[in-house]
Structure 1
Amino acid sequence: MRAQSPLLIRNWSTSDVPQSQRYDYYAHALATAIFPIQLSGSAPSAFGVDMSAADLGGMTVIRQRGTPHRCFADRGNIARAEGRTFHLLTSTRSAWTLEHLTRERLGPGDVIMCDSSIPFNLEIGNDFNIVHVALSEAWIRQWLPAPSVLVGARIDANDSWGRALSAFLQSLEPARLADYPLPRSFIGDHIGSLLAFLAQSRSAVPPKPAKTEGAAVLDRIRDCMAGQSREATLCAADVAAAVSISVRSLHRHFARSSTTFGAVLMAMRCADAVRMLESSSFSRLTVAEIGRRAGFADAAHFSRVMRARVGHTPNQLRRAHAGPSSRDDPKEE
């Protein structure tokens, strides 16, 4: 068997920082390994988490152990995420609650899939040991052309395919993957196959056809918008024509997901802008030019939208990640 390349294992522990910094430390660790998330709970002195992660390419295996807390992501966090991802979660030892499309109470071994483009609220009331597998959108669509069929719905640990998926996920430990006896691609193939079987079993008793079809149409609309969001003149009529539906139908699909065309478009543009503002590759561009490249025709509007959605102005974001050659726009704030 061909030798596998070395595997980088990253580790974080709140015990490495003063008690007063534990929440900030863990929030930064989550943003590094997963995407921006907010935390709340008991006093920092009572809070502690150890986390490790192994990147397998398109898939990151994460193990999180710690004390009770709440974590959540709102539209501002979503706008700052680097692209859309999907997340498989299972707890090995305690029950927990997740609000994500619906409110689900999950027991030990139950599995759930989350979509990073949808807000969530996760509450863990007891000490926990969670296996978390983060999946890129490109990876998940190799196995599930319409991943929304599994998003937000509890996968029962006592069901046939759910039991198989839960057992395999719980066997994954980042530190042990460096010496995995089979090619690491086996891990992704096994998880992907089980997800495909789960999706097929759920489709055997399909929901209303309009709902399933609508989810697929909404995915096509989002994909079209993602490719054109930097065009300042992009409007709903342009996207509707590109996916061969009426403008009224386009707005109806967004309404069913409790959002709007404008909100999704602004979130995409803000995400593009945040990536450029925080990247040294764009440090020689002015803030106004970054806004223009992200699709904002007006610098003042760009600043207002970023403050409202991300919580910071473009200049503030740039200063937080500034290199010596970064250029502020003095009139922005």
Structure 2
Amino acid sequence: MSVLRAEIMDTAVVPPADRWPFFLDMSFRASAPMAMSSDHVSDFRATSRLVDLGGLQLVRFRYQSLTGQRTPRLIRQADPELYQVALTVSGASAISAQRRDTTMSRSDFTLVDWGRPHRLEHRSLHGGQELAASLTVGIPRTLLPLHPDRVDRLAAARMSGTEGPGALLAMHLHHITRYPEQFQATDAPRLADVTLSLVATLFAHHLDAEHDLPPDIRQLATLAQVHAFIDRHLSDPALTPQAVAEAHHISLRTLHRLFEPDQETVAASIRRRRLARCRRDLADPLLRHHPVHRIGRRWGFTDPAHFSRAFRAAYGMSPQAYRALPSAPRPPDGPPEPPGR
């Protein structure tokens, strides 16, 4: 079964004189043409990773300072009817649109409407040592379950990516673009649904319109919040389905209903993630001096015998045997996560 793949672009693969047009071609395909300029066009350094989820495109950019102008003439030539949610990852960014001028620093989101004039600026910092970087998700306007007039209020607005729905969306986008190989290609539609739900929830939060979201959007967003909570508390032995439900102010029955599409119980999800962390630590040479039972306790297994049985059931060998494998590769943070996790 094929895994989800990223399309990689690096201007270093072409001669210096061709790097700027090479970057422009890639960036225009990810959104729409702009009148762009840079002080580094003679030898432009940039990389990108594009993950196509079908209806949505996620792109991770890293580049030298540049500016771009989306003009009325360019819009008349081609309106992609596209919103782009952009997260500043490093450097500094600024946008001017809808009579609003906004600056963004690291971990700030903004909304770009490619069907309206705007100006973008991305600056590297520290004399170019810290390149500008951003993470974007392109969304067709028709897919957002909010009225366009309301969404327009957020154009060029600054939205935090470190708290509330913004933090959850940022974590989700970072994980997919960093580790697309942890997902199957068939996961793309589900990942697109979760991404759209998190974007819609972020917008609704800033518009005070959470109750206007369709039930399925709210359910997917809640599920994503639950998965993030579980990941943050795996080391706590008291992490149980009941504790998860109480933390999210929902009933245990509602929590179990959220997990039904994944065909995995809440308890099984917690156990699988804990075991994946244990397996990762057992393969880490830097943790060789830690006893096996301590690694189990580190991830919530207080009973060494139970930990050993659970590990054997999951991976076909005891924790000690796994650690003793001479060429066991260090696994990623966990097995491929079902969409939404």
| Range class of TM-score, shorter chain | 0.5 to 0.7
Match of 1:95 among 78, 92, 97: 92
Map residues 213-232 of structure 1 onto 2, 5 A cutoff. Answer: none
Which residue does the alignment assign to 2:180? 177
Aligned 1:232-271 pairs, distance under 5 A = none
State the structure with more CA Rg. Answer: 2
1:166 counterpart (154, 159, 170): 170
Shift of 1:82: 5.3
Q: Is 2:115 the counterpart of 1:117?
A: yes
Q: Distance in 2 between matches of 1:199 and 1:65?
A: 25
RMSD of the TM alignment (CA)? Answer: 2.6
Deviations 1:73-94 (A, max 9, x none): 2122222335311101112222
Identity of aligned residues (%): 19
Segment drifting more, 118-127 vs 70-79: 70-79
CA contact (8 A) 2:17 2:43 kept: no
Aligned match of 1:145? 147
Return the offset for 1:69: 1.5
TM-aligned CA deviation for residue 42 of structure 1: 0.9
Structure-1 separation of matches of 2:14 and 2:45: 10
Unaligned runs of 5+ in 2: 125-130, 211-341
- Asked whether the equivalents of residues 5 and 180 of structure 2 are also in contact (C-alpha less than 8 Å), the reply is no
Unaligned runs of 5+ in 1: 207-333
Q: Which residue is equivalent to 2:160?
A: 156
Counterpart of 1:121 in 2: which secondary structure?
A: strand
Match of 1:104 among 102, 105, 111: 102
SS across alignment from 1:193: helix
Equivalent pair of 2:11/2:45 in contact (CA under 8 Å): yes
Rounded Cα–Cα distance in structure 2 between residues aligned with 1:8 and 1:163: 24
- TM-superposition CA deviations, 1:46-79 (whole Å, max 9, x none): 5211122122111011111121111222122222
Q: Which of 52, 56, 62 pairs up with 1:55? A: 52
Partner of 2:29: 32
1:12 equivalenced with 2:15 (yes/no):
no
TM-superposed CA distance for 1:37, in Å, is 1.9
Matched position secondary structure for 2:187: coil
Q: Which amino acid aligns with 2:196?
A: G
Find out whether 1:65 has 2:62 as its counterpart: yes
2:161 is matched by which residue type in structure 1? A
When the two structures are superposed, what TM-score results if normalisation uses the length of structure 1? 0.54
Check the 8 A contact 2:95/2:121 in 1, yes or no: yes
- What is the CA–CA distance in structure 1 between the aligned matches of 2:78 and 2:194, rounded to whole Å? 27
**TM-superposed deviation, 1:111:** 0.6
Shift of the 7–78 alpha-carbon distance from structure 1 to 2, 3 Å rule, reads farther
Cα separation, partners in 2 of 1:44 and 1:199, compared to 1, 3 Å: closer
Question: Letter of the aligned partner of 1:125 in structure 2?
Answer: R
SS in 2 for 1:32: helix
SS in 2 for 1:44: coil
Correspondence for 2:251: none
- The residue identity in structure 1 corresponding to 2:110 is I
Question: What are the within-5 Å matches in structure 2 for residues 188-227 of structure 1?
Answer: 188-204=192-208
Are 2:58 and 2:138, in contact at CA under 8 Å, matched by a contact in 1?
Answer: yes
Pairs aligned (count): 200
Distance 1:23 1:38, change over 3 A: farther
Deviation at 1:10? 2.6
Q: Give me the whole-angstrom Cα distance separating, in 1, the residues matched to 2:209 and 2:146.
A: 17
Moved over 6 A (4+): none
Summarize deviations over 1:245-293 as a string: whole Å, max 9, x none: xxxxxxxxxxxxxxxxxxxxxxxxxxxxxxxxxxxxxxxxxxxxxxxxx
Give the counterpart of 1:131 among 124, 129, 135.
135
Q: State the distance in 2 between where 1:88 and 1:29 align.
A: 18
Provide the C-alpha distance between the structure 2 equivalents of 1:6 and 1:137, rounded to a whole number of angstroms.
Answer: 28
Question: Which residue is equivalent to 2:264?
Answer: none
Q: Normalising to structure 2: TM-score of the pair?
A: 0.53
8 Å contact kept, 1:53–1:61: yes
Q: Which residue of 1 aligns with 2:317?
A: none
Taking the aligned partners of 1:113 and 1:83, their CA distance within structure 2 comes to 15
One-letter amino acid of the structure 2 residue matched with residue 99 of structure 1 = S
Q: Distance in 1 between matches of 2:161 and 2:182?
A: 28
Q: Aligned partners of 1:194 and 1:83: how far apart in 2?
A: 22
Distance (Å, rounded) in 2 between the aligned partners of 1:158 and 1:164: 8
TM-aligned CA distance change 1:37 to 1:7, over 3 Å: farther
